[in-house]
Amino acid sequence: MVVVAWLGAYWLRFNLGEVPEPMMTSAVAALLAVVPLQVGVFCYFGLYRGVWRFASIPDLMRILKAVGIGMLMVSVVLFVATRLEGVPRSVPVLYGLLLVILLSGPRLLYRWLKDHHIDLRTGERVLIVGAGKAGEMLARDLLRKTGHSYIPVAFVDDKQRRQGQELHGIPVVAGCDEIPRVVQSHQIDLVMLAVPSARPVQRRRLVALCEQSGVPFRTVPELGALMSGQVSINQLREVSIEDLLGRDPVSLDWAAINSGLAGKTILITGAGGSIGSELCRQIARLEPAGLLLLDHSEFNLYAIELELSEKFSGVSRHVYIGDVGDRGTVERLFATHKPDVVFHAAAYKHVPLLEHQVREAVSNNVLGTRIVAQAADRHGCSQFVLISTDKAVNPANVMGSTKRLAEIFCQNLNARSKTRFVTVRFGNVLGSTGSVVPLFRKQIEAGGPVTVTHPDIERYFMTIPEACQLIMQAAVIGEGGEIFVLDMNEPVKISYLAEQMIRLSGKTPGEDIEIKYIGLRPGEKLYEELFHDQEALQPTDHQKILLAQHRKVDWDALDAAMQDMERACGEFDDARLMRRLREFVPENRIAQAS
């Protein structure tokens, strides 16, 4: 290219005509200096190390620098050697321009051919939603890989300034509201959502538009997974119900969480459950001095211990199969390991099942909490975190009443202990064991019907990781005696949840899959509440965590009631247990029914 550019400069100098003989001889002779000088400069600037397949702006900048320096050096050397005799003054400039074109042109052409595959391939016509960074990366990846059977045809984007532009030759044809029209006019076979940072409300809108279009749709992975390198932009997946019901990313004070939990021995009861197992994962990342796992389910405990051993082999772990209601097991665990912090997640939570299992609900949720809390007090734990539920507010069922009494016990024990007792209360978590999402998924796979108790029933939802992160945040900001209420945003109608899950499975509610309303189950409320009217909810330093004021009770009466409930459990006296629940949970709405 150096030879072609040098001789081409002479040819251009003489208007594409014949170069006079003396000057042509001088030009050829000058190549003895021009070629070695220019090649040396090319080597210095690394032009021979670039991969043409990925040629880009940095490569063009290197070419400009190498050609500019080379042109200057050639001019200086020829001036010193021959005083530029026989070299027209315009030749060095023309040489530089030609050489830039000759070096950059083939590189960019090669990349363009590779990216666009001029092979008349056929495949599914794709509409990409989002012409931002993620959309550009997705389009580039689809164009580059011959193995893909996808052809990106158009973009849609809500940003007005992007509409009418092109990315990699693909036009941005309209805003997102036009998805159904664009799908029809451009004969789209598949819609790809390339908006990994979109908020759940925005995702719900886009999914609704995609459903109107009548073609399948997929989404790129979440922004966090892309940035961490866990997945690539082309690892498309179906839109999940978590995408639609999830919430905005939570901003946490990780420095405070780390200082509060790192290097400490931490006990997690109910460690094999949905919340307990996620707490194990989150806390293991903070490098605690040790993790103590307690659960009465052998399989669940085995599963989380196996996962921790693979991902966090450097964290010291002690695994115990046992019941929180077994005083001997709990006492031995505390005496042996002296935990600094306790996350008490062990609880029975299935509302209809516990309506007729009062003894078991009280034994586990109330007396089990009392046993673990008293052991934490006796053995000098710095902090005890009780994980509660929105069903403890104005409870209409046995489960909620037992959790409320567990809250009352821990709040009032705090005033008599050096251990800081903190309660964290929140609603449903998506995908937890026994929750509605896995049930609906199973019913849809079986062809229906999907059973919903009531058309108007609503519940609060958050993801399991978010709930656990907020639990840890509340744990480090708690000073003792507080009830922290996690901000659950707006409640979601269960009927909407069922409809969306059916649509996401590629079926139509009411046609392919029936939604059947079966009536409220025993102890079930239409609407859950996160705090009682008298709890005077207040903000905290964290926008997603609120503080409810607890109610004080007479300690001696409470302690006597607990001892009586323990005796009643031994005697299987459900009626006595219910009377005690009514006594200390006066807002209990099951009193009349029972």
- Please give the positions annotated as active site: 391
Q: Within 10 Å of residue 350's Cβ, how many Cβ atoms?
A: 12
Sign for the CA dihedral angle at 346, 347, 348, 350 comes to: negative
The answer to whether the CB of 129 falls within 8 A of the CB of 156 is yes
DSSP secondary structure letter of residue 425 = E
What is the β-pairing status of strands 190-193 and 217-219? parallel
H helical segments located in 294-445: 298-311, 327-337, 351-354, 358-361, 368-378, 398-414, 436-445
Question: Measured between alpha carbons, how far is residue 57 from residues 145, 383, 527 in Å?
Answer: 22, 56, 58
The answer to whether the CB of 60 falls within 8 A of the CB of 104 is yes
Neighbouring-strand partners of residue 483: 423, 548
* Residue from 392, 497, 383, 379 nearest 435 by CA: 497
Q: Which residues contact 94 (CB under 8 A, 6 or more apart)?
A: 8, 9, 12, 13
Strands (E), 214-254: 217-219
Q: Give DSSP secondary structure letters for 544-594.
A: TEEEEPPPP--HHHHHHHHHHHHHHHHTT-HHHHHHHHHHH-TT-TTTTT-
Identity of the amino acid at 71:
M
**Geometric angle at alpha carbon 514, from 450 and 201, rounded to 5°:** 70
Question: Measured between alpha carbons, how far is residue 470 from residues 172, 270, 272, 533 in Å?
Answer: 40, 18, 19, 23
Q: Within 10 Å of residue 277's Cβ, how many Cβ atoms?
A: 26
Q: Which two tokens stand for residue 102?
A: 């000759």
The answer to whether the CB of 291 falls within 8 A of the CB of 341 is no
Q: Which residues contact 343 (CB under 8 A, 6 or more apart)?
A: 266, 267, 268, 269, 276, 279, 283, 385, 387, 471, 475
- Does the N-terminal peptide bond of residue 249 adopt cis geometry, omega within 30 degrees of 0? no
Task: Give the integer Cα–Cα distance in Å for 525 and 396.
Answer: 7
Q: In what order do the strands lie in the sheet with 317-321?
A: 317-321, 290-295, 265-269, 341-344, 383-389, 420-426, 483-486, 545-548, 538-539
* Residue from 148, 163, 164 nearest 116 by CA: 148
